[in-house]
């Protein structure tokens, strides 16, 4: 018996994997020590658990454990990377390059940088959601200190040309920061292969708990330095003060270990269902896939339903199916998605678009239910719409 509502919004957040919860539980009660307490076993046990988690997290992205800084999530990691570089490298320059389709956590941090006297170049994207590499290279100047470009877009799943961006950054001696919140755990990410100097990601997008994340900070060739954005006890090698969230970090580590072991089979299964969903919905007249489909996250399909009232579309089945009509963080407002707009999609079509994001606990039965519900709603709305409007 299918349980309703069906969850199809894994890019907004994922449920904790029960194996993650099991690993975390002892660290709330018996093993509650502060990982910074050096004088007794409660502290040592907590520190050991954090060390293991740091290894598990690092291994998933090809980093060294000492290159992982634990934070409260990707929003904090984005802020720390961009503001930390801006403050630390002020002597070299004040210019940052980013892109208009970034997540708000990067966009708003870059707007803050502008208010602080920094200069930001906002790269456009093409209709597929990709930046132009020659435009990126041409934007670099002697004052450029950072390129901040996301790995995969949260709304469309489009994966940027990350190794190429890393090579351009290296060639010009500019640091490369990538917000990889949606990519890590879904596709193989390797900071060394990709030439990434700083990278943000988050536990709750990969079946770990909410409120925990990481910033990868390269230690060699070049060693990246950051100005801390929180003053305090100097935790995390001075980059992020504050008592560590030990249960959360343990869960993050376990979640990363599971992703590393299961990513290949999981992404094959999920992309199969995503393709089935997409093929069947695009069989309807005037349904368009948004974003490049050659290099895309395996779990996402962003579709526009022409000639359908966007609000009606959501209201048609949102009691039974949890999907998003844009970024989760902005779905409270009725603004058309800034990502779809940047790709040249009209406001009307952007409003009539849905992001389906599948995940570990999706089932084929759910996919069939979604198909039936969405098709029925689209048919009904199209019949209601007066001709010519
Ligand atoms: C690309 C991207 N960056 C950053 C964030 C923010 O992550 P967090 O919720 O861990 O702060 C999200 C969450 O939706 C995201 O998708």
Domain count, the chain: 2
Ligand 1: centre distance to CA 204 (Å): 9
Q: Work out the pLDDT band at 219, boundaries 50, 70, 90.
A: very high
Do 66 and 212 belong to one domain? Answer: yes
Higher pLDDT, 327 or 177: 177
pLDDT digits (tens, 9 = 90+) for 128-143: 999 999 999 999 999 9
**H-helix or E-strand spanning residue 176:** strand 175-179
- What range does the domain containing 141 cover? 18-257
Mean pLDDT over each residue of the chain, to the nearest integer:
95
Contact assessment for residue 235 and residue 228, using Cβ atoms and an 8 Å cutoff:
no
Q: Work out the pLDDT band at 28, boundaries 50, 70, 90.
A: very high
User: Is 304 labelled as part of a ligand binding site?
Assistant: no
For the chain, what's the residue count?
389
Task: Collapse the DSSP code of 158 into the 3-class scheme (helix H, G, I; strand E, B; otherwise coil) and give the result.
Answer: strand
The verdict on residue 32 lying in a domain is yes
Position 360 scores a pLDDT of 98
Mean pLDDT of 59-74: 98
Position 309 scores a pLDDT of 79
Do 241 and 290 belong to one domain? Answer: no
The verdict on residue 389 lying in a domain is no
Q: Work out the pLDDT band at 328, boundaries 50, 70, 90.
A: very low
Sheet bearing 95-99, strands edge to edge: 68-71, 213-217, 198-202, 175-179, 144-148, 95-99, 119-123
Whether 389 has a pLDDT exceeding 80, the answer reads: no
Do 268 and 375 belong to one domain? Answer: yes
Whether 331 has a pLDDT exceeding 70, the answer reads: no
Distance from the Cα of residue 289 to its chain's centroid: 20
Ligand 1: centre distance to CA 88 (Å): 24
Do 128 and 192 belong to one domain? Answer: yes
User: Is 101 labelled as part of a ligand binding site?
Assistant: no
Do 217 and 320 belong to one domain? Answer: no
Do 270 and 226 belong to one domain? Answer: no
Ligand 1: centre distance to CA 95 (Å): 24
Q: Work out the pLDDT band at 252, boundaries 50, 70, 90.
A: very high
Report how far residue 181's alpha carbon sits from residue 213's, in angstroms, rounded to the nearest whole number.
9
Which of 11, 14, 74 most suits a substitution to test ligand 1, by most atoms within 8 Å of the C-beta?
74
The verdict on residue 305 lying in a domain is yes
Distance from the Cα of residue 134 to its chain's centroid: 25
Do 85 and 121 belong to one domain? Answer: yes
**Closest ligand 1 atom, residue 213 Cα:** 10
Only one residue has tokens 């630390």, namely 88
Which of 14, 162, 202 most suits a substitution to test ligand 1, by most atoms within 8 Å of the C-beta?
202
Whether 326 has a pLDDT exceeding 60, the answer reads: no
- Tokens describing residue 41: 């076993």
Residue nearest to atom 14 of ligand 1 (CA): 12
Q: What is the DSSP string of 235-270?
A: TTTTTS-S---HHHHHHHHHHHHHHHHHHHHHHHHH
**H-helix or E-strand spanning residue 271:** helix 246-281
Ligand 1: centre distance to CA 153 (Å): 10
Do 119 and 142 belong to one domain? Answer: yes
User: Is 58 labelled as part of a ligand binding site?
Assistant: no
**H-helix or E-strand spanning residue 274:** helix 246-281
Q: Where are the beta strands (DSSP E) in 254-385?
A: 287-289, 300-305, 321-322, 353-357
Say which range, 40-54, 97-111, 187-201, 315-329, has the weakest mean pLDDT: 315-329
The verdict on residue 324 lying in a domain is yes
Mean pLDDT of 66-94: 98
Position 335 scores a pLDDT of 87
Only one residue has tokens 């002597």, namely 91
CA of 21: how far to CAs of 18, 201, 363, in Å?
Answer: 5, 19, 22
Position 329 scores a pLDDT of 46
Ligand 1: centre distance to CA 103 (Å): 7
Do 239 and 305 belong to one domain? Answer: no
The verdict on residue 355 lying in a domain is yes
Calculate what percentage of the chain has a pLDDT beyond 70. 97
Position 332 scores a pLDDT of 56
Q: Please list every protein residue whose CB sits less than 6 Å from any atom of ligand 1.
A: 73-75, 103, 105, 150, 154, 179, 181-182, 202, 213, 328-329
CA of 252: how far to CAs of 32, 71, 125, 256, 258, in Å?
Answer: 17, 11, 33, 6, 10
User: Is 12 labelled as part of a ligand binding site?
Assistant: no
H helices of the chain, where?
Answer: 18-24, 41-61, 74-88, 104-115, 133-139, 162-171, 191-194, 246-281, 310-317, 338-342, 347-351, 364-384
Closest-CA residue to 139 (of 154, 121, 155, 153): 121
Do 202 and 235 belong to one domain? Answer: yes
Domain boundary among 240, 257, 274: 257
Residues with catalytic function: 329
Mean pLDDT of 244-273: 98
Mean pLDDT of 87-104: 98
Position 327 scores a pLDDT of 37
């Amino acid at each position: 018996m299918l349980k309703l509502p069906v969850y199809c919004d894994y890019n907004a957040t994922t449920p904790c994997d029960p194996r993650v919860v099991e690993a975390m539980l002892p660290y709330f009660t018996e093993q509650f020590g502060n990982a910074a307490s050096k004088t007794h076993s409660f502290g040592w046990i907590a520190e050991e658990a954090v060390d293991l988690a740091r290894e598990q997290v690092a291994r998933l992205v090809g980093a060294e454990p000492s290159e992982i800084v634990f934070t409260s999530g990707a929003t904090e990691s984005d802020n720390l990377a961009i503001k930390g570089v801006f403050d630390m490298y002020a002597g070299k320059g004040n210019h940052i390059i980013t892109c208009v389709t970034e997540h708000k956590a990067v966009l708003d941090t870059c707007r803050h940088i502008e208010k602080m006297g920094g200069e930001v170049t906002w790269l456009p994207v093409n209709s597929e959601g990709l930046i132009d590499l020659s435009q990126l290279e041409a934007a670099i100047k002697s004052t450029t200190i950072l390129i901040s470009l996301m790995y995969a877009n949260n709304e469309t799943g489009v994966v940027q040309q990350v190794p190429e961006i890393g090579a351009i950054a290296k060639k010009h001696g500019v640091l490369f920061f990538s917000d990889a919140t949606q990519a890590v755990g879904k596709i193989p990410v390797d900071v060394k292969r990709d030439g990434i100097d700083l990278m943000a990601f988050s536990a709750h997008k990969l079946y770990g708990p909410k409120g925990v994340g990481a910033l990868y900070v390269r230690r060699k060739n070049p060693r990246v330095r950051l100005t801390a954005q929180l003053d305090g006890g100097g935790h995390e090698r001075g980059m992020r003060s504050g008592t560590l969230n030990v249960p959360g970090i343990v869960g993050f580590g376990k979640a990363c270990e599971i992703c590393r072991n299961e990513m290949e089979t999981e992404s094959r299964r999920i992309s199969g269902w995503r393709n089935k969903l997409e093929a069947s919905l695009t069989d309807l007249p005037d349904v368009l896939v948004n974003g490049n489909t050659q290099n895309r996250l395996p779990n996402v399909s962003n579709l526009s339903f022409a000639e359908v009232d966007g609000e009606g579309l959501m209201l048609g089945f949102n009691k039974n199916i949890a999907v998003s009509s844009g970024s989760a963080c902005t779905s409270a407002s009725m603004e058309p998605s800034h990502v779809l707009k940047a790709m040249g999609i009209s406001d009307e079509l952007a409003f009539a678009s849905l992001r389906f994001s599948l995940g570990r606990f999706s089932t084929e039965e759910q996919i069939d239910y979604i198909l039936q519900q969405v098709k029925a709603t689209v048919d009904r709305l199209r019949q209601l719409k007066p001709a010519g409007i």
